[in-house]
Structure 1
């Protein structure tokens, strides 16, 4: 077992920092390079030991150490960078730009405070508790479907389907419409690429227009419904200081929920299955004690996070251990690096389902901590619990998986495996 909070004792964890480097000495990382995606931790670990900050081909700077990521994400002078990603490509109007105006993770206070306050009223512990039995039932059905196939890509089937079904049920999207909403959100996901080619922008904006029309119909249908049983119903009813969410805000939130809620949860679940398959001793601990599932989910989120970095714009100049970051600089806070910083975590490169430490950055930090984190955690917990109930056997057909090369998400791209379970729900 680890010491409380898993903080390294004084004098352990890493060597004393060397003299502060000059900016001209800083190495440069390329987050778009294939080697970076294949073994992110091997790339970042030696850099983190020598430099608190490096240059990045995807921006100006990348911050690597836990303490600086923590303080940076709480710094009110570090503003959201999503608009800068568009503006740098000449996108300052149109459906894509308009959609981003209503994303909670694209706004800063006070606009962010108002929108998050309203959205937070819908993401209550009661809502999450109501969802858990539905999630578990969906997981059992999808487990049966995967087991029927014998050899299956669990990313394309189980990991993809479960969060999509959960989210569609949460907002009241009927089964017959789910393929359309899935296509739209898959297309819109390309908006988070480092560069959006003109053809992709056209497809993205067309998807947003079509999505808006369908979402408007969905909102009106839920407004007319007599019962209040979905998350969308709660969002429609949410009120704070006499204010409610507008239809434009509701449409943007639905799209953001389907994209961010699906992609991040799918990726975390895929990473969880691979990591457990790759660490059979830790999986054996879970089989022996399923009560460790919540701790295991936090450890997967720390150990193999699907979030490559969290971008910000520095509105004022600052210095990090001698590295000068000027006003207007694009700063990426590296989540994989901070989550494995030996200054914060004991044996950070060891996967341990008993670690029980949720102070990682996979769900963000500060005022922009993910509002849907509790739902994402519930989905992964219920999925793993269902698999354990069924006594699942997972034999990957590859020695090492390929990883997605996408700036907004890092996940196992595919997990072909022989998959077996006991029949019937436990």
Structure 2
């Protein structure tokens, strides 16, 4: 099997559900491998980190997309994503990122600790009520509602509207896959249209009645100076902030729970020592990353990993493979929260490093040990079902049995440091 055949396998339903064996086949061709003319795959950690930080590597913005995909503007999903900071290059990317970065500063995120903890306990209690006599879906009852509540609070989205977003986001994020069929694109377009319509109404509501939230702040920036944030950029970034604000964390919580239930000894350690949560979350991110890949295009010739990437090359950075590079992580197939160094690439690196990475980490650091401590009998109710997605790796359903929840530990100080939820 050559690199091109391995890529075909990776993009198949089987390869999407479990990409790790295919990553190892690709690794045999070196940390940077040519899978087709002008198309390269990156499996090495150092090489992926280097290319993510290289200013000669760009995301596919409007100008690039116009040259390779005529008619893309007819797709609401592609057009919506393209107007956000997710799919723009400097200086537009830097301009938009600065406008939202303050909402995700370390100080602001630390200030949300008590809110996240209270929400997690409320969800555990509710899940316990529903799960007394039958299994519950961990995704629907915890892994989705926790992060969506947090990002909706930041954006100022009413609590009653939170159940709407899971399907819309699932539909829209199909457009992030390396390949998408016309049928899948039509589904993504419907999700994008629904999200755009929702935020159009929310923007109008915030103009009539400003509030202390990120949506109001961005609306005021747009209304005072459209040069700093256009109308299309306003809506696109609100959509992306919402979707990215819970989709990755939902998958982190779901993937992470399955890993810990498959490793009961390590789960017992965290149950008794929640101060180790930061190390555990980093290893969960590395071991089964909720984001498996991202892509770039070279605007100039670049040499990396002993391979020359000509100008105009497409580069698929396989973050999930980089996170299991044995040159960086000895015995990478082993779940080991005590690794001397981790720093997984699950949130990217460089200018496009995920703006909400700190918030996702906080939510997982609080939620995971709380789940283990308050639900000591938590167990899988059969094997969960994976989504056939590669970019955003997670489960469709994750049935669990709970047992009787332990009461909330009221002795934890409100200002406990990260890792001691």
The corresponding residue for 2:126 is 145
The corresponding residue for 1:11 is none
The corresponding residue for 1:13 is none
| TM-score under structure 1 length normalisation | 0.84
Q: Secondary structure at the match of 1:122?
A: helix
State whether structure 2 residue 64 is matched by structure 1 residue 92: no
Q: Return the match for 2:359 from 358, 375, 397.
A: 375
Q: Distance in 2 between matches of 1:85 and 1:26?
A: 24
Q: Distance in 2 between matches of 1:319 and 1:89?
A: 27
Q: Distance in 1 between matches of 2:3 and 2:169?
A: 41
1:380-403 deviation digits (Å, cap 9, x = unpaired): 1221132144143222233x5443
The corresponding residue for 2:215 is 232
1:95-148 deviation digits (Å, cap 9, x = unpaired): 334323321121111111111112212222232123222222221222223223
The corresponding residue for 2:27 is 48
State whether structure 2 residue 383 is matched by structure 1 residue 403: no
Q: Return the match for 2:7 from 6, 14, 29.
A: 29
| TM-score under structure 2 length normalisation | 0.84
Give 1:11-410 correspondences, 5 Å limit. 28-30=6-8, 31-56=10-35, 60-81=39-60, 88=68, 90-94=70-74, 95-147=76-128, 148-149=130-131, 150-225=134-209, 227-228=211-212, 230-236=213-219, 244-355=228-339, 357-398=341-382, 401-410=384-393
Q: Secondary structure at the match of 1:109?
A: coil
- Quote the offset at 1:222 in angstroms: 3.0
Q: Secondary structure at the match of 2:11?
A: coil
* Alpha carbons of structure 1 residues 404 and 188: separation in structure 2 relative to 1, 3 Å: same
1:302-336 deviation digits (Å, cap 9, x = unpaired): 11112121101122233444434332221111111
Structure 2 unaligned residues grouped into runs of 5+: 410-421
Q: Distance in 2 between matches of 1:85 and 1:156?
A: 36
Stretch moving more, 51-60 or 348-357: 51-60
Work out whether residues 38 and 309 of structure 2, in 8 Å CA contact, stay in contact via their aligned partners in 1: no
Q: Secondary structure at the match of 2:281?
A: helix
- Quote the offset at 1:85 in angstroms: 7.2
* Alpha carbons of structure 1 residues 125 and 223: separation in structure 2 relative to 1, 3 Å: farther
Stretch moving more, 246-255 or 198-207: 198-207
1:141-191 deviation digits (Å, cap 9, x = unpaired): 222232232412212332122222222222122133233344433332222
Q: Provide the aligned C-alpha RMSD in A.
A: 3.0
Stretch moving more, 288-297 or 192-201: 192-201
* Alpha carbons of structure 1 residues 418 and 184: separation in structure 2 relative to 1, 3 Å: closer
Work out whether residues 26 and 53 of structure 1, in 8 Å CA contact, stay in contact via their aligned partners in 2: no
Q: Secondary structure at the match of 1:331?
A: strand
Q: Distance in 2 between matches of 1:421 and 1:85?
A: 53
Q: Secondary structure at the match of 2:300?
A: coil
